[in-house]
Structure 1
């Protein structure tokens, strides 16, 4: 395999004195096949039309509400991008009206018929270790049936979210979030500006816990989706334990342009 692009998210890692080992969480060092490469996003002509997928006509994106960006370090699996200063301030909830003003935005809807919780984290935690998904939270969303919410991400942010019914997201024996994950990498400075996303059931499967349905699709610049239905009954371009060692599953977006992701929780197809 020829390694040219490094779209890594969360990697198999040993962290801290407790030597917590988890096996997965990466979208790393991968030259995607043509079938999964998306065209560079094409900005909408105006932020006043096209709804939440529109972008500013002058190409100047808002940073309102974000903290300071942090520098990057490392390479390949150990790459650490922007985690926000203070930690987690690179991931914020925004309004539908302001969504067109930000560069990287995910819209969250659901097929859920009861309240769900979505928790977000950075690949690297507040302690500077690659343990961001071990109980840390940059942002929590409470998703009631019919809710539509929007989240903005600063450039060079890598991490994920996990979604489950109720007021908390289950964790495995080692303390990591163990409901179905959505993983993201936005305009990685260590990866030539590429972005990427995927849905993953590896954590709940490894923990022997239920797999929740989730879908993530490009909303501009392409039509690539990554999805898993409940209990991993149907898996499309997404991670299960069988794909633990693979990189680049999901969507891979070149160009460093704006990203719009449409996320559906409790996805059933």
Structure 2
């Protein structure tokens, strides 16, 4: 299987951002399942409302030579993938029974999961807190592929409490530095303008994570993008206004690729801007499929450096189903 490619680096020789057609996202009406034991106050907090600083229009074209995203290419030895990039989107449908299945696996007496890595035994995942889903566009292109960016934009990504995390399908645990508070911002690959500008000052979720603290972010189906993290109160940016720290990149439940998921750590943007490479590791909750860059890029494991910008298939991947990732910020050897 070939996970939809997030790499803006692939645009360097073939795509001009100004050529993108600005179209309104197609909204797919869905039923929001009230399957959570409680409605997360985090999901409705200000940290889940997207913020943005528009990238200067005069640098849009130039940005294509420096702005970089990556993801993994999932492969399979038992099936063919010749048509996955053009698979049609199956819109979620409402049912009369969806709201009746609310019990999650491994629950306490209060009905809340005792372990954030567990999953509902009946396979019904919570969508409380998410906005509407947008249908994919540009489905015949890995680079320009636009998945679910939420309606309103960014509402496909929410922060949730640890006690509720197990009820969501795609969840990332962020673990803070051992020495300093850090800022984390999470964004969609496709920005609010419908172009590949998600990392130019935009964020669907942002928060400050204290020393040793753990925070949880849930992602809706068919979401592609990245997060950045750095010490202090903001993320560094390059001369074009793009986030230039170490990135953690994601592709969850790609509808054009059999709902495969992929992730990786990338220092391409930081190195392209000649700025600090922050340490970060991303592993599945089972400790497998790790992608790691240590502080200063002293150690690099299954992750992207600037020299790897033309390489596919780096990072972790998982077939259709729930994903639980553990991200360690400020990772060092």
Same fold (TM > 0.5): yes
Equivalent residue number for residue 168 of structure 1: 234
Equivalent residue number for residue 3 of structure 2: 6
Equivalent residue number for residue 325 of structure 2: 261
- Confirm whether residue 237 of structure 1 aligns to residue 302 of structure 2: yes
- Confirm whether residue 31 of structure 1 aligns to residue 113 of structure 2: no
Deviations 1:52-109 (A, max 9, x none): 1001111100000000010101121111000000000001000000001000000010
Q: Which moved more, 1:200-209 or 1:109-118?
A: 109-118
- Confirm whether residue 180 of structure 1 aligns to residue 246 of structure 2: yes
**Secondary structure of 1:204 counterpart:** helix
**Secondary structure of 2:216 counterpart:** strand
Q: Distance in 2 between matches of 1:6 and 1:150?
A: 24
Q: Distance in 2 between matches of 1:178 and 1:140?
A: 16
Is contact 1:10-1:159 (8 Å) kept? no
Is contact 1:32-1:252 (8 Å) kept? no
TM-score of the pair, normalised by structure 1: 0.89
Q: Distance in 2 between matches of 1:29 and 1:214?
A: 20
Give the C-alpha shift of residue 7 in structure 1.
3.4
Give the C-alpha shift of residue 23 in structure 1.
5.3
- Confirm whether residue 46 of structure 1 aligns to residue 43 of structure 2: no
Deviations 1:97-147 (A, max 9, x none): 000100000001023311100011000000000110111111102111021
CA RMSD of aligned residues (A): 1.9
Among 170, 186, 196, the alignment partner of 1:130 is 196
Question: 1:139-178 counterparts in 2 under 5 A?
Answer: 139-178=205-244
Is contact 2:72-2:262 (8 Å) kept? no
Among 241, 250, 269, the alignment partner of 2:315 is 250
Give the C-alpha shift of residue 253 in structure 1.
1.0
Equivalent residue number for residue 126 of structure 2: 62
Among 102, 106, 120, the alignment partner of 2:186 is 120
- Confirm whether residue 71 of structure 1 aligns to residue 135 of structure 2: yes
Is contact 2:183-2:235 (8 Å) kept? yes
**Secondary structure of 1:184 counterpart:** strand
**Secondary structure of 2:326 counterpart:** strand
Question: 1:204-219 counterparts in 2 under 5 A?
Answer: 204-219=270-285
Structure in which a larger fraction of residues adopt strand:
1
Unaligned runs of 5+ in 1: 34-44
Q: Distance in 2 between matches of 1:28 and 1:180?
A: 16
Kindly name which structure, 1 or 2, has the bigger radius of gyration based on alpha carbons: 2
Is contact 1:7-1:29 (8 Å) kept? yes
Equivalent residue number for residue 85 of structure 2: none
Is contact 1:217-1:263 (8 Å) kept? yes
Give the C-alpha shift of residue 224 in structure 1.
1.1
Q: Alignment length, in residue pairs?
A: 254
TM-score of the pair, normalised by structure 2: 0.73
Deviations 1:185-222 (A, max 9, x none): 001001111100000000000001000000000114x7
Unaligned runs of 5+ in 2: 19-56, 78-103, 108-112
**Secondary structure of 2:128 counterpart:** coil
